[in-house]
Amino acid sequence: MKKLSFIDKLLFIFNSLLAIALLFSYVLSYIAPKQYAILSVISLGTPFLIIINFTFVIYWFVKLKKQCLLSILILAIGYQQVHAFIQFSEKKILLNDDLKVMSYNVRLFNAYKWSKKDSLPYKIHQFIKEKEPDVLAIQEFYRIKNHKLKYPYSYADKKRVGSSSKMAIYSKHKIIDKGSLEFKNSGNNAIFVDILKNKDTLRIYNVHLQSLSIDKNKENFGQKDSEKLIGRFKQTFTQQAEQVELILTHQKKCAHKKIILGDFNNTAFSWAYKQLKKEKKDAFIEAGSGLGKSFDYIFPFRIDFILADKELEIHNFKTYSVKHSDHYPIMARISFSK
């Protein structure tokens, strides 16, 4: 510290505090929201802390200062967390017989005119037609006249009280079972289908956990009503915990290999994600690249996921930065392990 300028000394103190904060954030994802909901709110800041600590590493490294070792050590300790945030190389294995699985929150196909672009339903359908997913899971589904998706098999849950949206799953493969988990006191839900691919049966869960209701045009974390916003987040994470427990209990009764995908309304640093990922692979971590941003916000939040049982092979993962909704569609290519 003696050889540092006054400004650098202040920066290192700030660096130290943020490094400790990042270290603390690593454990937050293992604490159930039902116990300490406020900690789940704090976990939303983990991506910011990772980026800031990376920035400090670069800053001290350029200045040839050993202070860079602090953030390097903290980032190394949380390697699994950092690994869930950024990927550097895309896995590209494109097989003729793999299963292309897409998740897409379509924001009701713009039925309530969140955008002035009347062409959005057409653009969404054209995009799906172009990418040709074998299985398509849609959150915030809404039936639009003259815009029907052409799949031989499909399942959509009934419109729920207090919600204008539904959930839907479309499949090129035969659906032999289906159902809805019916989240309590929520307009959100999770549905499932069992599809038959060759001689294998695969369970697909389409999940839309309780919404955070973030609107980039209306509210930010620095506004006067931030206390009210944090209070709403706490309630949301508590509901998410109940919904996750329902999904986990439900999937235990299924003997088939499983894929859980959809809009989790939470990040890879959350308790909800950690629980749903148990015994599964994250398609982005396995085969994606970049930051995996799936929500159209000022910060690269990844809140849409494709999680597959460890017995399944993930060959490719893509996030498509098309702004036809407030979410970006994601797709993975998956096959049964030999």
Pair 68, 147 in one domain? no
- Order across the sheet with 189-197: list the strands: 174-180, 189-197, 200-208, 257-263, 304-309, 280-282
Pairing of strands 174-180, 200-208: unpaired
In a domain, 90, yes or no: no
Identity of the amino acid at 324: H
Pair 121, 226 in one domain? yes
Distance CA 132, CA 137 (A): 13
Separation in Å, CA 91 to CA 88, 115, 318 = 10, 34, 10
- The residue out of 17, 51, 83 marking a domain boundary is 83
Please tell me whether residue 196 adopts helix, strand or coil conformation. Answer: strand
The long-range contacts involving 228-231, CB below 8 angstroms and separated by at least 24 positions, are 230/38, 230/41
In a domain, 94, yes or no: no
Distance CA 303, CA 245 (A): 18
In a domain, 140, yes or no: yes
Pair 138, 53 in one domain? no
In a domain, 1, yes or no: no
Pair 103, 34 in one domain? no
Distance CA 157, CA 179 (A): 8
Pair 237, 156 in one domain? yes
- The residue out of 83, 108, 129 marking a domain boundary is 83
Pair 182, 244 in one domain? yes
Q: Over the range 103-127, which residues count as b (16 or more CB within 10 Å of their CB) and which as e?
A: bbbbbbbbbeeeeeeeebbebbbeb
Pair 115, 180 in one domain? yes
In a domain, 142, yes or no: yes
List the Cα angle 53/58/63 in 5-degree steps: 125
Pair 315, 211 in one domain? yes
Distance CA 169, CA 192 (A): 8
Pair 284, 314 in one domain? yes
Residues of the domain holding 109: 99-336
- The residue out of 83, 116, 151 marking a domain boundary is 83
Pair 217, 248 in one domain? yes
Distance CA 85, CA 44 (A): 12
In a domain, 279, yes or no: yes
What's the pTM?
0.91
Indicate the number of domains in the chain. 2
Among candidate residues 154, 249, 264, the one with its CA nearest the CA of residue 209: 264
Pair 120, 33 in one domain? no
Pair 150, 175 in one domain? yes
Per-residue pLDDT of the chain (338 residues; tens, 9 = 90+): 668 898 999 999 999 999 999 999 998 888 888 777 777 778 888 999 999 999 999 999 999 999 999 999 999 999 988 889 889 889 988 888 899 999 999 999 888 788 888 889 899 999 999 999 999 999 999 887 767 899 999 999 876 655 556 899 999 999 999 999 999 989 899 999 999 998 899 999 999 999 987 665 555 545 555 667 777 788 899 999 999 999 999 999 999 999 999 999 999 999 999 999 999 999 999 999 999 999 998 888 899 999 999 999 999 999 999 999 999 999 999 998 65
In a domain, 91, yes or no: no
Q: Are 139 and 105 in contact (CB under 8 A)?
A: yes
Residues 6+ apart with CB under 8 A from 70: 12, 15, 16, 19, 56
In a domain, 144, yes or no: yes
